[in-house]
Amino acid sequence: MNKTFFQNWGSLVYWFLTLIAFAVGVWLVFAVVPTEETMGPIQKIFYLHLPIAFNAFLVCTVTFVCSVGYLWKKQGYWDDLAVASARVAVLLCSIVLLTGMIWGHSAWGVWWTWSPRLTFSLVLWLLYVVYLVIRPSIEEKGRRSLVCAVYGIVAYLDVPLVYLSVRLMPDIHPRSIELAPEMTWVLLYWMLPVVMMTVGLLCEGYSVQRRVSEQQNQTQYATRQTATSIHPTGELT
């Protein structure tokens, strides 16, 4: 009981600190860093877009590592962490796509263009959405974890492609960015709240998924026990 109380309080404090870190980030962006001359205020979305994109790659890597871990050890917690990270990956990829679209509308006048990086980012989002969508379709738990682990490994191949697409193919995204020193510092600072948010979501997602898995295990065990206690004639033994 006490443990749950402190766990809840710990989580609450963590999210409060994350919120403060975000608030400081917003203050830095609007009060400290100068407005970019060409793009205007819309350029400020970049301080959120880039750290979120970076964290999306990290979370996809977590799914990949957990998928390899599950195939290697066949332990349920690897699968639970892989699911939690895939959920966070979908969320972060959605934010990356949305912020990118807002930027694109301001910079190029269109909400969407089929440039390689945008296309492969959309494919990445689709891959992890499919990862989550197919899970409920496979009833047997071990089989589900196995298929999803294999899928998690193959899906990760898109991550280097998103990163390298700008270098390999002609794209509207710049190959490198030059920023004023204060812009660089603020951008680096924004990594802090975004990483805190990502880690928090991962931990919360993992604990929820772990509880769901334990409940499923108990239900499966109870069903098996009931099935074995019924005699072939239909009488309870």
> Measured from the CB atom, is 147 or 208 closer to another protein?
147
Q: Which of 17, 19, 20, 169 binds another protein (CB under 8 A)?
A: 169
> Measured from the CB atom, is 8 or 216 closer to another protein?
216
Tell how far CA 27 is from the center of its chain: 26
> Measured from the CB atom, is 91 or 186 closer to another protein?
91
Q: Check residue 188 for interaction with another protein (CB under 8 A).
A: no
Give the C-alpha distances (Å, rounded to integers) separating 162 from 22, 75, 116, 159: 27, 31, 8, 5
Q: Check residue 157 for interaction with another protein (CB under 8 A).
A: yes
Q: Which of 85, 158, 186, 189 binds another protein (CB under 8 A)?
A: 158
Helix-, strand-, coil-residue percentages of the chain, each rounded to 5? 80, 0, 15
Answer whether 190's CB lies under 8 Å from 25's CB. yes
Instruction: For the segment 71-90, give every residue that binds another protein (CB under 8 A).
Output: 71
Instruction: For the segment 124-143, give every residue that binds another protein (CB under 8 A).
Output: 126-127, 130, 133-134, 137-140, 143
Q: How far is the CB of 81 from another protein (least distance, A)?
A: 19
> Measured from the CB atom, is 15 or 112 closer to another protein?
112
Q: How far is the CB of 119 from another protein (least distance, A)?
A: 6
Residue 236: strand pairing partners? 230
Give the C-alpha distances (Å, rounded to integers) separating 10 from 23, 44, 53, 131: 20, 32, 27, 31
Helices 2-27, 181-229: inter-axial angle, 10-degree rounding: 150
Cα distance between residue 23 and residue 146, in whole Å: 41
Contacts of 10-16 with C-beta under 8 Å, sequence gap 24+, read: 11/200, 11/204, 14/196, 14/200, 15/200
Q: Check residue 19 for interaction with another protein (CB under 8 A).
A: no
> Measured from the CB atom, is 120 or 189 closer to another protein?
120
Interacting residues toward another protein by CB under 8 A: 71, 119-120, 123, 126-127, 130, 133-134, 137-140, 143-144, 146-147, 150-151, 153-155, 157-158, 161, 168-169
